[in-house]
Structure 1
């Protein structure tokens, strides 16, 4: 059996097993079309009618059988049914057009006070006009829907998707109405379940709904569905990659790669499966870096299809204790962040929110951000490319997952694959993270190491890591010896000395580190809460002075780690978290932000900013100022 056939057989086996663990087996969508927002699009953002459905009456009949699995496929809210006349005898107990409206993209929690803590199903409906053109294909795209979504067009089901942070797309060419009058209905369900990814226990707000852009993209009948244009692994002077066509005429087609500014142009032919690879000299390409985030206009042309992108070119690798960007040792001056603007309730709504967050990171002195704990908006990756920020991108394998459930693993792997597909042409992305703070154990090791191996098989040009836990011994030694570290390029650890353990901030410098692996060390989290504007002495919890002292002493303690090459303290801004319930200091916010929920910088911000100035001078010299 060939390796490809073996992989297909294993995948089929996992999917078969998945059905035995879940009453709703995961229905995989096709491979994501690369750079979908860069296509000609019809935006469906704006006002959508919605119906709150905690009993899922619009999905199941009174016997708890799904309408869309019945012989007729009719009866659910997705029919968007209307009485045909006053004499209509059919009972219809819903009406989208007379229901309230909500803005999309946007979570439901922040738009309606009564939905602040709601977990369950809400149905959305949007009408749109589109007359299909001959020779064109049309794709319905959702940037993200949290968490399980069932999507219908003109009463017909397109599919089901699990995962609250990765794109969803379906070819709707054959389902569009000839009249041009169409409607799309979405069942969004943010219910937490123990076998899902993430699982029921998280430390962020469970925002429900359609939280990112919605549009319809147009392509020719034969179109470019996927591509990778990057420097080759271990060969920085070679530009390598592939182009994949889809459609009726994908075989034996000419595809032209053009980077006009660099004088690069090459035409290749697709094989019988519509795939073409290329490899050509790249010495003329300027290297992307935080100091010089150079992006090139890249075009790919095949027949009637032209795809435009802006791509940077750089290498990232490790050598012993060093992280090498373009062959030069760097210190990754980072900060963690959530996909949330603290000034406005709810998920980040678009480029303005995202640019503000990254601007704050730049002001802090960062050359690096950790986008925790799930895939962030694709726009965030493009902004990081533009603004010169390295990125750690992560999937929500968070805390304790159902390690032995094949369907859970398949879900995690699909989210990881979609994340890598979305970010593989972004120069800013240098780390794929397969999880955060997962407990030791054989089932977990198998789960996590398999994810690491999957990530490496999909993209061997970036670093693989995970945020590991640690353990302490009575002699004040912090030990890092997680066996998962064998599969990773970085030793990345979360530690909270001075907050969750270790005594007062002034006492934590007594700790030393025993790290098993001779690899670059990055501290993926440390920190403590402070209520912005609350001032006291350095030993009073929740005060800005306590957080300030914690940062001062953390930096002293961490600087004793010989292999330390970066950090992403927790966290850039205060963020909303249901589990944070102290009525004075928290009020539904995790207060570990260096910037308060009102946008004011806390005292610890300036401690880290000064430390990063020193690191920039040490590693980058004048370029780092």
Structure 2
């Protein structure tokens, strides 16, 4: 299992030198009888009977357990060795994601509780550590596998995967790690680029700022190793905002702007000074990129831009929701670009930050979509709202992210056409997202039954070229169509001139591996597959009203064989053929 330790830095946009991952073998047990709390497993003295490879969920092969059955309460235990280099500093324990509820104890002391299966959390564990001897970390995870009001994405609530739903994920499924910080340190940074003013706004959040009255922030910005800007300014409280001009902005190639074709990134080092002493140092990066809608046109950096996306479920044969390696993540980005796509819609999953890092570095647009529930309830609203806010906060700084999609195909709001509460929930998610991020468009309900929305997105699995040409020949025909026998807009929220995109289409089934499965239409051989691809992509490229599309889908997944690649990432037809089709050739 050593090839799958996932030893790379799990948060590449906020890196300190002193950190260590805790991936690898942990003790593990199912707790189907709910004995753990009663028998005080959290105290750490009881050795668990199984072994699991973190960060892979027990349902996956790479976990070493590979048990797909329902086990909604699970426990983890391991010894916790704190590096000598952490001495004299605060020790922060991080979890990338634990599905769904998590509690963590160090030496029997509760240090963290968190709800939400896709978002990170952390705890300062310094005061719980033993002065001498071993430390023990215990984690309890509780899932609600059969609860259809739980934000779950594609995880199925029945025993076996079927239709569009896949194997469940319970417990730890992203990296667990520790880092050392000073009592006064940089908690997070929010970076907002402004290409029109040639500046980057930096909002710093300082932990422990009240401990010192002499704090300063030093910001050093470079481009391809060359100094661009440096600023030192006083920190007057827990939050400080500074706008830094990029003076020689136009000398950096295409204005230094970030696009998929030219993913220009600025490296930045934040140094927090307490008097003349360095209290903290963090390395990060940003991209100068603007997303806007001008005169009904979807624009990147003030120019109309056709988004050619592929739907990406983010599942892997051996790791399920967890990529087996950083190389596998990069490969998915590279394969997507090699087929002529300039973006991906990450479907029903908040993706690993390493994926966003490679999209930033290699140049791939990302539509970030929440893992939705399936049915509506008041408890769902509470759960989903918290998790969505944490998702937007985690990924705000990534230049690759160009759209937020809180809801998809009325999942979680199945009666939105007639239920005013569900309409208000969709509206709330739209406006809430806009209230914390004014940079990016927000889609209220991708596919159909939209309320107020920045983009008018249609899901259409029609496979006949002539029907697609007719349907997307005019705005009127496009917005009045009902391709899934669903109204595209909720009554009272008519089309209002938004950019029109077809954000799910294709889904052509083609069996090219041992996997059995289904798709929305079927191809008999490679020549037929290519012909069918052209028949669904070309009408959208040639449409006078469609400004972008998202093809279903990147890979086969479990019982679905409608990928451009097999589940193990082998192209079904040569990549260059798909690229030529996306280029209209």
Q: TM-score, normalised by structure 2?
A: 0.81
**Alignment equivalent of 2:184, drawn from 217, 222, 226:** 222
Q: Does 1:491 align with 2:456?
A: yes
Offset at residue 137 of structure 1 (A): 1.3
Residue in structure 2 matched with residue 238 of structure 1 by the alignment: 199
**Alignment equivalent of 1:340, drawn from 315, 320, 328:** 315
Q: Does 1:194 align with 2:148?
A: yes
**Alignment equivalent of 1:591, drawn from 556, 561, 565:** 561
Q: Which runs of 5+ in 1 are unaligned?
A: 1-31, 62-74, 83-94, 471-481, 499-503, 577-588, 616-625
* C-alpha separation in 2, matches of 1:153 and 1:105: 19
Residue in structure 2 matched with residue 421 of structure 1 by the alignment: 393
Q: Does 1:329 align with 2:329?
A: no
Question: Counterparts of 1:428-507 in structure 2 under 5 Å?
Answer: 428-438=400-410, 439=414, 440-441=416-417, 442-470=420-448, 482-484=449-451, 486=452, 488-498=453-463
Offset at residue 117 of structure 1 (A): 3.2
Offset at residue 528 of structure 1 (A): 2.5
Residue in structure 2 matched with residue 601 of structure 1 by the alignment: 571
- Checking the alignment, whether the CA contact within 8 Å between 1:341 and 1:357 is kept in structure 2 is no
Q: Does 1:530 align with 2:491?
A: no
Residue in structure 2 matched with residue 123 of structure 1 by the alignment: 75
- Residues 12-70 of structure 1 show CA distances to partners (whole Å, capped at 9, x for unaligned) of xxxxxxxxxxxxxxxxxxxx9995554521221110010111122113x4xxxxxxxxx
Question: Counterparts of 1:63-462 in structure 2 under 5 Å?
Answer: 75-81=39-45, 95-96=47-48, 99-111=49-61, 112=64, 115-130=67-82, 135-192=88-145, 193-198=147-152, 203-232=165-194, 235-247=196-208, 248-249=210-211, 253-260=215-222, 261-272=226-237, 274-285=238-249, 286-303=256-273, 304-342=279-317, 347-398=322-373, 400-402=374-376, 404-405=377-378, 407-438=379-410, 439=414, 440-441=416-417, 442-462=420-440
Q: 1:262 to 1:460 in 2, by over 3 A?
A: farther
Q: 1:526 to 1:206 in 2, by over 3 A?
A: same
Offset at residue 160 of structure 1 (A): 2.4
* C-alpha separation in 1, matches of 2:167 and 2:14: 28
The secondary structure found in structure 1 opposite 2:70 is: coil
Residue in structure 2 matched with residue 23 of structure 1 by the alignment: none
The secondary structure found in structure 2 opposite 1:468 is: coil
Offset at residue 509 of structure 1 (A): 5.0
Q: Does 1:514 align with 2:478?
A: yes
- Residues 535-563 of structure 1 show CA distances to partners (whole Å, capped at 9, x for unaligned) of 9xx99846456654543332244346433
Question: Counterparts of 1:543-582 in structure 2 under 5 Å?
Answer: 543-544=524-525, 548-559=530-541, 561-576=543-558
- Checking the alignment, whether the CA contact within 8 Å between 1:547 and 1:604 is kept in structure 2 is no
Q: 1:35 to 1:175 in 2, by over 3 A?
A: farther
- Residues 228-257 of structure 1 show CA distances to partners (whole Å, capped at 9, x for unaligned) of 22313x844232121110125266521121
Q: 1:235 to 1:606 in 2, by over 3 A?
A: closer
Offset at residue 280 of structure 1 (A): 2.9
* C-alpha separation in 2, matches of 1:572 and 1:539: 14
- Checking the alignment, whether the CA contact within 8 Å between 2:459 and 2:505 is kept in structure 1 is yes
* C-alpha separation in 2, matches of 1:395 and 1:344: 20
- Checking the alignment, whether the CA contact within 8 Å between 1:190 and 1:206 is kept in structure 2 is no
Offset at residue 321 of structure 1 (A): 3.1
Offset at residue 361 of structure 1 (A): 0.3
- Checking the alignment, whether the CA contact within 8 Å between 1:336 and 1:572 is kept in structure 2 is yes
- Across the aligned residues of Structure 1 and Structure 2, the Cα RMSD in angstroms comes to 3.0
* Count of residues paired in the alignment: 519
- Checking the alignment, whether the CA contact within 8 Å between 2:228 and 2:246 is kept in structure 1 is no
Q: 1:367 to 1:314 in 2, by over 3 A?
A: same
Q: 1:107 to 1:297 in 2, by over 3 A?
A: same
Q: 1:119 to 1:560 in 2, by over 3 A?
A: farther
- Checking the alignment, whether the CA contact within 8 Å between 1:343 and 1:599 is kept in structure 2 is no
* C-alpha separation in 2, matches of 1:103 and 1:510: 53
- Residues 439-484 of structure 1 show CA distances to partners (whole Å, capped at 9, x for unaligned) of 43322221122112121121111221255334xxxxxxxxxxx442
The secondary structure found in structure 2 opposite 1:169 is: strand
Offset at residue 159 of structure 1 (A): 3.0
Q: TM-score, normalised by structure 1?
A: 0.76
Q: Which runs of 5+ in 2 are unaligned?
A: 1-9, 158-163, 250-255, 274-278, 480-494
Q: 1:180 to 1:539 in 2, by over 3 A?
A: closer
